[in-house]
């Protein structure tokens, strides 16, 4: 769905998302699934549904909205049993995520440049390592650019990832101009016929105007070297993030034109429910999910699988 991948790979991906959501399911979404078996639809049922969405960080307003819509639709269709609402509800959730299924970094080009941005501690560097591996497994020639010259030892961290996945890392020293790193990385990629460059940037809170300006600069540096670069600007979002995730995505989108999301730390008990609001309000696709600390704990995001996974009933225990 996101780009060409073979069947096994897709199955493997789906399994990973589902696996990571097992813990999630055991939490509140599992209670949602439990709700649907309960019998007649009562006002309390709707309240509980709303509660559970809120617990999943879907957000007060979105949850109220969502339940309202499903409720209307259910009444229109004359549904009586909670179990009948399940399919309808899933449909609505999936629809929210499916509004935007633009292919990731599509199209053949000499050099694909991907800029990765996000707030501090969201998991940018780790995601870049994993994304690099992902691309490499597809037979691409990958390099990483270390444009986080601010945080202590960020360059070292990326270099270690580079070693792990065996791809070159282009870096300057700490404190160097990130724009120069982007420039040098692109030149080096062209010289060495590398076709995919993933650039790590410093963590920045979206409220810091100057730091957001810096990303704009990085983008324009890239654009001057490669046609239409960066081809993707990805926002890395921690799945534990609450309602601020929406503001984050909004500001990043306005300021630096992010094109999609990587949702990280989905192996925790967090549900990443904020992606529903983000998808609804900002029309941004979620491209990947990070599901653990291992290199391979990374998968393409699939809205259907994501939603299906949230509702899948446990066969044994819990």
Query: Which residues contact other proteins (rule: CB under 8 A)?
Result: 23, 51, 54-57, 59-61, 64, 119-123, 125, 150-154, 156-157, 159-161, 174, 205-210, 238, 240-245, 247-248, 265, 267-271, 273-274, 293
List CB contacts of 108: < 8 A, sequence separation 6 or more: none
Question: Considering beta carbons, is residue 21 or 274 the nearer one to other proteins?
Answer: 274
Which one-letter DSSP state was computed for residue 138?
T
Question: Considering beta carbons, is residue 113 or 146 the nearer one to other proteins?
Answer: 146
Question: Shortest Cβ distance from residue 87 to other proteins (Å)?
Answer: 26
> Tokens 């957000």 belong to which residue?
59
Tokens of 78: 């004359």
Instruction: Provide the 3-class DSSP secondary structure of residue 58.
Output: coil
Residue pair 165/196 in contact (Cβ under 8 Å)? The answer is no
Question: Considering beta carbons, is residue 89 or 150 the nearer one to other proteins?
Answer: 150
Nearest to 116, CA basis, from 154, 155, 157, 147 = 147
Rounded Cα distance, 5 and 35, in Å:
36
Strands 112-118 and 232-238: parallel
Tokens of 249: 């995505």
Question: Considering beta carbons, is residue 106 or 166 the nearer one to other proteins?
Answer: 166
Question: Shortest Cβ distance from residue 286 to other proteins (Å)?
Answer: 16
Question: Shortest Cβ distance from residue 34 to other proteins (Å)?
Answer: 17
Instruction: Provide the 3-class DSSP secondary structure of residue 217.
Output: helix
Nearest to 63, CA basis, from 79, 77, 47, 78 = 47
Question: Shortest Cβ distance from residue 268 to other proteins (Å)?
Answer: 5
Question: Shortest Cβ distance from residue 238 to other proteins (Å)?
Answer: 6
Question: Rounded to a whole number, what is the largest CA-CA distance in the chain?
Answer: 67
Question: Shortest Cβ distance from residue 265 to other proteins (Å)?
Answer: 6
Question: Considering beta carbons, is residue 102 or 159 the nearer one to other proteins?
Answer: 159
Q: In what order do the strands lie in the sheet with 169-171?
A: 169-171, 142-147, 196-201, 112-118, 232-238, 260-264, 286-290, 298-300
**Cβ neighbours, 10 Å, residue 163:** 11
Question: Considering beta carbons, is residue 56 or 286 the nearer one to other proteins?
Answer: 56
Rounded Cα distance, 238 and 272, in Å:
8
Question: Considering beta carbons, is residue 3 or 209 the nearer one to other proteins?
Answer: 209
Question: Shortest Cβ distance from residue 255 to other proteins (Å)?
Answer: 10
Question: Considering beta carbons, is residue 10 or 151 the nearer one to other proteins?
Answer: 151
Question: Shortest Cβ distance from residue 56 to other proteins (Å)?
Answer: 7
Residue pair 203/227 in contact (Cβ under 8 Å)? The answer is no
């Amino acid at each position: 769905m996101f780009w060409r991948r073979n069947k096994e790979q897709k199955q493997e991906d789906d399994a990973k998302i589902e696996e990571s959501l097992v813990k999630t399911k055991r939490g509140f979404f599992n209670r949602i699934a439990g709700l649907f078996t309960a019998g007649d639809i009562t006002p309390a049922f709707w309240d509980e549904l709303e509660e559970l969405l809120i617990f999943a960080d879907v957000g007060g307003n979105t949850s109220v909205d969502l339940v309202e819509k499903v409720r209307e639709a259910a009444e229109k269709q004359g549904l009586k049993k909670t179990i009948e609402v399940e399919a309808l509800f899933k449909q609505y959730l999936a629809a929210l995520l499916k509004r935007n299924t633009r292919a990731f970094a599509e199209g053949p080009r000499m050099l694909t440049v991907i800029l990765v941005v996000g707030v501090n501690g969201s998991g940018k560097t780790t995601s870049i390592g994993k994304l690099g591996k992902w691309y490499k497994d597809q037979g691409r020639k990958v390099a990483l650019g270390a444009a986080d010259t601010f945080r202590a030892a960020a360059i070292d961290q990326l270099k270690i990832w580079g070693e792990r996945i065996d791809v070159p890392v282009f870096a300057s020293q700490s404190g160097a101009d990130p724009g120069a790193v982007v420039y040098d990385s692109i030149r080096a990629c062209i010289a060495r016929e590398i076709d995919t460059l993933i650039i790590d940037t410093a963590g920045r809170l979206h409220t810091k105007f100057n730091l957001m300006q810096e990303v704009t600069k990085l983008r324009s540096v890239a654009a001057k070297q490669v046609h239409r670069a960066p081809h993707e600007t990805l926002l890395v979002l921690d799945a534990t993030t609450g309602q601020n995730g929406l503001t984050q995505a909004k500001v990043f989108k306005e300021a630096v034109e992010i094109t999609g999301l990587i949702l990280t730390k989905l192996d925790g008990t967090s549900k990443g429910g904020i992606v529903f609001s983000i998808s609804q309000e900002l029309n941004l696709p979620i491209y990947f999910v990070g599901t653990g600390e291992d290199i391979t704990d990374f998968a393409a995001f699939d809205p259907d699988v994501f939603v299906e996974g949230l509702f899948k009933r446990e066969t044994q225990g819990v």
